[in-house]
Every structure is written in C-alpha cells, then in structure tokens.
Structure 1
Amino acid sequence: MDTKTFSKPVLGIESSCDETGVAVLRWEPDAPGRGLLAHALYSQVKLHANYGGVVPELASRDHVRKLLPLVREALTEAGLTPADLGGVAYTAGPGLVGALLVGASAARAMAWALGVPAIAVHHMEGHLLAPLLEDDPPKPPFVALLVSGGHSMLVEVKAIGQYHILGDTLDDAAGEAFDKTAKLMGLPYPGGPALAKLAEQGTSGAYRFSRPMTDRPGLDFSFSGLKTQVLLAWQKSDQSEQTRADIARGFEEAIVDTLVVKCRRALDAAGAERLVIAGGVGANRRLRAELAAAGERDGFRTYFPRLQFCTDNGAMIALAGAIRLAAGQQQDETVQVFPRWNLETLPPAA
C-alpha cells in the first residue's frame, strides 16, 4: 500500500446504531497488528431487548452516556493522553441520524479543542477495510462482500476510496433477514446470532428453501421472499424444538449458498482473485467455512477480519480515518452526518 504513515495516533469513534465503539490506532501499514493501540466497545443489546429491535431515541441517549467514558478507557489502555492524538475519526453515516450526531458532535468538539484534524468516515468503508487490521491484509484490487443488518452488497475495490458497487440488496439485507426470521420463530433478541447457533443443531436437508435470484443473471440480493417461505413452513410445522432447529438450518444454508454463488459471480465479473468478507454476518461460521472452501476449489483467496471486528467497532473507523488523514483529507468544523450515503461517492484515498 502506498499510503504514508500518519505519524500520530488517531482516535476512532463509532456510533451509527446500537454499539458505541472507540479505538486508538497509529496506522503502520507494514507492522504486525497494524498499529492498533487500544479499543473499547459497549453494546446496547440489553437496552433494546425488551423492544425486539433498536429504538433510535434510546440508542442516541445511551451513546451520550457511554461515549466519553469509553474514550477515557481507550486512551488509558493505550497509555496516552488526549494531547497525544493527531486526529479524530468518526462515523458520519450511514446510520441512525441521532446516534450519528452524538459521535460526530463529540469528535468535532474534541478535534477543535485539541487543534487536530477530524475526518468523517463512511461506516461501510470501515467494514470494508477491517481486514487491513490483520497481519496478512488484502491488497487491492479485490471484491468485498459487505453483509450486515442493513446492507448486503458486493463492491469492486480498485484502490482505497475507488469503489464500484456490483450488487446491492433490493429489500431485506442478509442480517435483517436473519433477525426477522429469528423473531417470527420466537427466538430472543438479537435474533441473528441466536438463529445461527440454533442452526448448528438442525438437520441438513430437512427443510430446503429457495436460493433467491441465483436462477438468473445479476449480482443483486433479495431475501424478503425467503423470509416468507420460512414463515409458511413454521406455521405449517409442529413447531417443536427440533423442527425449529431444522428450519433454522435450512434458512441459514439458503442464505449462505446464495452469498457464495453471488461472490463467485462478482469475482468473475471483476476479474479478481481476492475476496474480502466483512460486516456482522461475516462472523457466521457456516458462511466463513463455505467461502473458504469455495476459494480453495476455485482458486480465489478469502480474507476475514477477526470476529470482534466483524460487528460495529471503533477500530475500523480509526483505521479508515487514519488512512484518509494520511492522504491529507479532513473535514471542516461543520457537524454533518449522512443517514444515507453512497459508497461510490467517496474520494480516492491515495
């Protein structure tokens, strides 16, 4: 990578939804561990569990309560003071507008008080670059599968900041489909991880659902119909624990098979031999195993971030911000967030 090292540590702040993440990173492209000095994370799962989903106003208020204590925790872990920071990176979108404003306001205020630059980071670029935190990172060009609660997209990465979306979700994203399917079968919040765990006890082939949009050309995703198939199967079943596990297994296999098919198509379309998988669903064991196996069969290499960096976290934001700060980019003093933000509109980081 030809990005020069940003000499001072960067503070990264993630507050796009229901997790408050903070990290301190000194970007060292060739160093083991990739320069991550400290990171801290607080999850709001218990706060939203009674509602079966994220309540935006409650999420924003909890970010207010937790953010500064996490900043102090991360700085202490890194053995630094605020005066040691060279910049502040923050998630500016996509996400919940109130939650984003908490992180953006705090980041801009800290940057102004310290006299250092601030940089707005695209949440999905953070996920896309998370594998660069590993000791053996991917080098562009590559294809990235970004799968989270709100996004399922395939991105051709020609260079850092040069992105072309090959396929996107037309309705429910993969993570959203996991959560909604779990909820309709009575699984506890958050549903996605609970459904994946239950699927391990299911019998393969007991239920087979369609692999959406794999019977036609194209790289877009649509999982709302699959969710309906599961609902009908569940309503017609005896609703026993084993049946619940069998349906969960069939659903997970359908999602994973669909993602594998689309990834192979995307690699062919881009002429790439490297595949990055990131986002919360990237922590799914079956998906990781099936994509790794497909890579061995078909001659492409797969890259995954550590499990703790698949879900939302401050480390990926600090990383993306440090790379852009090293490229001379920064924001003015305006506090601005983007609940919707097209990844393709980002400027190159070289």
Structure 2
Amino acid sequence: MQQTDTGAPVPLELARRFSVAPMMDWTDRHCRFLHRQLSRHALLFTEMVTSAAIVHGDAPRHLRFDPVEQPVALQLGGSDPAELAAATRLAHDAGYAEINLNVGCPSDRVQSGRFGACLMAEPDLVAECVRAMRDVTDRPVTVKCRIGIDDQDTEESLDRFADIMVAAGVDALYVHARKAWLKGLSPKENRTIPPLDYERVHRLRTRLAPLPVMINGGIETLETAEAELVHMDGVMLGRAAYHNPMLLAEVDNRFFGAPTAPVTLEAVMQAMADYARREAANGTRVNNVTRHMLGLANGLPGARQFRQILSVDACKPGADASVILRAFAAVDRPVLAVAS
C-alpha cells in the first residue's frame, strides 16, 4: 500500500478503509479520544444521537467533540426530513466530517420512534431524509443499514433499498451483514443470532461500484478485516475494537500504510491521564473517562488489578486522574510521576 503522511489524518474517503462502529452508550467523546490515541487515521463515529435531541435539546452537549478526534462522523437517528435537515445543519456547523443516518438499529425504543432498522421497510422515506440532509451540507451524507429485516428477501429488497439511496444522492453505505429481526429477537440477539452473509454485501458492493460500500458485523480480528478489503471499500469494527482497544494500535500501519512507531500502553495512559485532568476542570468525573479503558491491558500481567482500579477506584469520592497512572503502575511498575 502507498504510504501516507502520518502528520495529519488521511482524507475521509481513505479513512473509511477502517472505522469504529457507532455504539450506544459506548462511543462517546471520551471513548473516541481514547481511540484516537491508538489510531490517527481510522474513521470514528459518535454513538447514535436522535435528530430531536439535537434540534429540541442541548445541541452543544450532544455535538461536542475534541478536534483531535477528526475524522469523526455523527450518526443521527430519525425519520422526519425537516428535523434531520436541521440537525445536519447544526452538525455541519459543529465541524463533523460526515453525517450518517441510522437505518440499522433494531431496538424496540428505536422502532417506537420510527427510526433505525424499521426504516428499511420505507426506503422512499429514507431517500427523502437523505435528500433533505444533503440539501443543507456539503459534507458526505451516508447511511448505515442491515441486509434486510424480518421476512424481506435480502436480494430484491436490499438492491431496491440501495438503488433508492443512490438515486437520493447518498455518498456511501455501511452495511451490517445480518438481517434485523424486529419481531422475536432482542437487540442483543440481533447482534449474534441472524446469520452473517458477507457474500451478500460483497455482491452489493460490486453492483454499486464506484459508490463506497463498507462492511460491518462479526468482524473480530484485524486479519478478518484485511481479508474483507479484497471485496469491500472498507471495514467497520464495533465491540471487538471497544473491548480490546489496543488492536487499534496496529490499524494505521496495516490499513493505511503509515510507518508509525509502536503505540505503547505507557503513552496512551499518560495521554488519558492528561485528558482526564483537563476534563475534570469542566466537571467531568474521572470514571466517565476510565470506563472505556478497561480492555487496554488485556493479556498483560496485572490486568485484573488494572481493571479494578479503573472501574472501582475511579468511582470513589475524590478520585482524580492519578487513578489512571496507578492502574498503569499495576501492570508493569513503570517509573512515572503520579500527578493529581
């Protein structure tokens, strides 16, 4: 692969080669700051935020991110074209690199709000939403979907859905390679029980080229992700990246050809301690940062104590950024000044 300059993030179109999936309650701004310490080039996503929350709620809080997170995409949930357009306009002004519409989440709460995977049954409405979003921004507007829902024929219905998205001007698709069963399966079961069908997504990408199509679902290793790039424009990892974040330290070299120096746990922990100290000045509790860091020491001696310090001690009254360096000290006894 052609090597890229590591001094700045790669263009968005290239960053989509490897992205970290939007995950509710997980990929908040603290999580994304951590992931950016591990990969400079991967595309990061917010957790899904409803258009109503942005338009009628605390938009600055929902849209806040650190510039170091770029490239970062905002994922929106909603089905009202005008409201999604208003939220997109605010996201544009906030500086997001991409705005993504969720058409894949299978939860009951999402269905009751008429957004998420249930919208795969209403492709014309989704197209109207995409057009409304595109009308108010020059940033890419993308869609994340499943290969189908319930009893849909994944050949005919997915092709029809994708064709309607293309006609609406969508800039890229992210496809979770499973159906979503909205009747009978919980959101957790929908992540594992419906069988994966990577070949269906491969056929879709071939059919839609040159539209970028990225694949998601069940990809747990970088080796599997690399194999998918033979067929796809990009891969998206979710829980594997969250629970074992250090795998992201290999992404820039393996997926972007960036000749980076190895990312060390020491450097990550120091950066996160500095970040937690800055955030504390704005009222952020340290455990809101450390809860995303529990998997950093997986497989290392002292990992159990590492997790205990970050999950238990970080919640105690008066806990501060020093718990992060204490957790690191439990792994390999480094020589580090513990600052409060």
- TM-score, normalised to structure 1's length? 0.26
- TM-score, normalised to structure 2's length? 0.27
Highest RCO, 1 vs 2 (Cα 8 Å, sep ≥ 6): 1
